[in-house]
Amino acid sequence: MTAHSLSLEHLERIAACRAIVAAKGASSPYVADCVVRAYQGRHIADLCHDAGVSCDEATVITIAAGIGTLRLAWTGNHFESRTCVEVPSNAGTATTDTLPMPLSASPAVRQERTSICTQCNHLVSDRCSVAGCACAGLGQPANRFSRCPIGKW
């Protein structure tokens, strides 16, 4: 396993979070939150490419952000939400105000992805059976930065 951390220089290269870097600076915790949201449902190779980091099948990148910690590895991602952990068990149902929500895909993108999924053998009970844990953000047509785990969209 090769553990990598992203430097400020790497963060500045990530186009999806460039506006936040420009507004708050690369060291702002909002930038880490943005990177987590943007890459939660994407493969580690995408982040390596966008940040200018070389990586291979042994690379692991961990991003500790305000909303939680994202661990990206070649075989899948794991996100541990800080907000989820801190919600007390007697607090009732968490609302969208307390949980970090992924950015939505446009209606056209969502429709195109959903149409592909509905014709796919891996869709079981309206869920992708390949995507694994929902925390990884894969196989979710409505999530802007999600992707199909086998590359159909």
Report the nearest approach of ligand SF4 to the CB of residue 120 (Å). 3
Nearer to ligand SF4, 41 or 100 (CB): 41
Q: Are 1 and 34 in contact (CB under 8 A)?
A: no
**Structure tokens belonging to residue 48:** 């390596």
How many other β-carbons are positioned within 10 Å of the β-carbon of residue 129?
Answer: 13
Nearer to ligand SF4, 100 or 139 (CB): 139
Report the nearest approach of ligand SF4 to the CB of residue 99 (Å). 22
Cross-strand partners of 64? 69
Report the nearest approach of ligand SF4 to the CB of residue 124 (Å). 8
Report the nearest approach of ligand SF4 to the CB of residue 67 (Å). 24
Nearer to ligand SF4, 8 or 127 (CB): 127
Q: What amino acid is encoded at 131 in this protein?
A: A
Kindly write down the DSSP assignment for every residue of 127-140, as one continuous string.
EESSS--GGG--S-
Cα separation, 5 vs 84, whole angstroms: 24
Nearer to ligand SF4, 45 or 130 (CB): 130
Cα separation, 137 vs 146, whole angstroms: 6
Binding site for ligand SF4 (CB under 6 A): 116-117, 120, 122-123, 128, 130-131, 139, 148-150, 152
